[in-house]
Amino acid sequence: MTACKEIAGATARSFVVGDQFVIVNRRYAWHNVTWVVVRNWPKSSRPQDRLDDRRLVLEFGAPHDRLIRLPSGKQVSPASEPHLYFFDGDNLTSFPIRMSEDDWIAPGFDRMTSYADILKWFRTFAVHPSRAAP
């Protein structure tokens, strides 16, 4: 018998929607998304502005290599259950989600016309009692 090794990773995608520059970071294990962080900046922002952003801190190799800044300013590790963290400036909307890697094949970000459309799309993956795991 061959031992199975967990397939996990993290990816990021950037794009412009409306007047916003957007970066979507996500982590997955096997074929399931474990967390997603969506952040925005004005389209005119500089790359250094985005690199200096502290809403999501990526420090690979540290004990807590990914930290999310809550509205209180406290930084926490992502929730243990799959979760979306959607920032609109410093405002944070978060909720549990259920997504697979297949859901990322064609999310249609390039067809969205406003930043709010992105949150609307992610709400289709929100975990409600009827979508709870068996």
* Domain edges within the chain: 8-128
pLDDT digits (tens, 9 = 90+) for 16-45: 999 999 999 988 887 889 899 999 999 999
pLDDT digits (tens, 9 = 90+) for 77-133: 888 889 999 999 999 999 999 998 888 766 677 788 999 999 999 999 999 755 444
Instruction: Record the pTM.
Output: 0.84
Gap between the Cα atoms of 83 and 97, Å rounded: 5
**Taking CA 101 as the corner, what is the angle to CA 100 and CA 107, rounded to the nearest 5 degrees?**
95
Is the pLDDT at 73 greater than 50, yes or no?
Answer: yes
Instruction: With CA atoms as reference, report the closest residue to 31 among 6, 14, 5.
Output: 6
pLDDT at position 106: 64
Instruction: With CA atoms as reference, report the closest residue to 65 among 54, 57, 73, 53.
Output: 57
